[in-house]
Amino acid sequence: MVDRKDGLFRYKSMTDRERKNLMIMDIIRRSGPVSRTEISRITEINIVTISNYINHYIEKGFVVEKGLDISTGGRKPTLLELNDRGGYVVGVDIGPRDIRVVFTDLGVNVVTKKSIERPRGDMEEVTNSSLNLVQKVIDESKVEKEKIRGIGLGISGIIDDIAGTVRDTNNRRGKTSSSYATLRMEAEKKFNIDAFVGNDATCAAYGEKRLTIEADVENMLYIYSDVGCGIIIKGEIYSGAGGSAGEIQLAIDQTGKGDLPLPSDELYYLRPLGVDLGMVQEAKNIISKGIGTKILELAKGQMDGIALEHIIKAAHEGDKIATDLIETAGIGLGTRVAYLINLFNPEVVIIGGGIERSGELILESIKKAVRKLAFEEPASRVRILPSGLGEDAVSLGAACLVLREVFADI
């Protein structure tokens, strides 16, 4: 077994047995009911070895045999499927705006879920709020704690797995660093359950890969608005040398006091604009000039109350200002996506982080930028899709990553 003392999800350095466990369990999950013979054929592992693995899974309660129609002669059951109720996991999304918690079975079927607005305080307050919400979800599930296999925590920020920290990149919260090990240890102390930590965009990418994308897709990106991206290469999560891979913005000093003279206009599309791609602030700028738009009406006339949801709804109702804001934001995000397509040559790019709720309006703008800026060869092979998991992408992805840990260690 791989040492997991740092509490991070295990993205690499697995043993041969652990990889086989994951491969076989994924086939059973995706294809069940499925026979041992079919699993042997797909994996190219001999039937005796497969049978030994399967018997162990059955003994541990992860897999059950599903019989054929007993009226045909009562033959011994030969088909296998995942025992969904053989255990449960918790997935937590500690996002830039909200905290979301899902409680799922082994098949990632949601039993219950809850969400709250993220507190504006420090990481200690955020941790307490997150763990209290986890407690409420566990209580509501009415599942015995002994059946809970693990807790996954997807957190926004830049992870440094060497220093053991996660750094908040939100300017309004002061770009503070904190120990993710403390978060993990507090979770384990409170619930006496194994807990794991990962970057939110990485969790979302893995969740989409496991739950919404075809099994044969091996190279994909999950774009978390302009905040970051999760990277899957050859079917494996790519986290980089220190766990911080996937940041798609530059640390630009926007005060103009930096030591490095940079042409700010040329770096516009690499500026940190936030989860709303800067649309809320731009909407406020436009309204302050006396230009009429339904956005303010939807915000009940309160300038400070304007949110991304109001812009999206106004656009869906035909408001030109809102439509223009989304199209412009889509071109900006599409510029980054085009660069990433040239760099990684993925099969699929998933747009998430909430911005996908703008629908075809933003997707078409992103695709327009990609057609214009990405090279023809990688652009012709990529599909750009909205998140299939929506607001639950990170929490479900964190749950899936817990299951990855659990299944690897069967």
pLDDT digits (tens, 9 = 90+) for 191-204: 999 999 999 999 99
The CA-based dihedral angle spanning residues 42, 45, 48, 54, taken in that order and rounded to the nearest 10 degrees = -60
Q: What is the pTM of this model?
A: 0.89
Predicted pLDDT at 381: 95
Answer for the pair 55, 403: CB distance below 8 angstroms, yes or no: no
- Among 233-242, 270-279, 358-367, the minimum mean pLDDT is found in 270-279
CATH 3.40.1740.10 is held by the domain 86-214+392-408: no
Q: 220-387 adopts what CATH topology?
A: Nucleotidyltransferase; domain 5 (3.30.420)
d(CA 391, CA 224): 11
Predicted pLDDT at 74: 54
State pLDDT tens for residues 139-177.
999 999 999 999 999 998 888 877 778 877 665 555 566
Per domain, the residue ranges of the chain are 16-85, 86-214+392-408, 220-387
Are the folds of 86-214+392-408 and 220-387 the same?
A: yes
Q: Which CATH class is domain 16-85?
A: mainly alpha
- Among 205-214, 238-247, 278-287, 311-320, the minimum mean pLDDT is found in 238-247
> Which DSSP letter does residue 8 get?
B
Burial letters 242-262, b for 16+ CB under 10 A, else e: ebbbbbbbeeeeeeeeeeeee
Q: How many CB atoms lie within 10 A of CB 185?
A: 13
d(CA 321, CA 289): 13
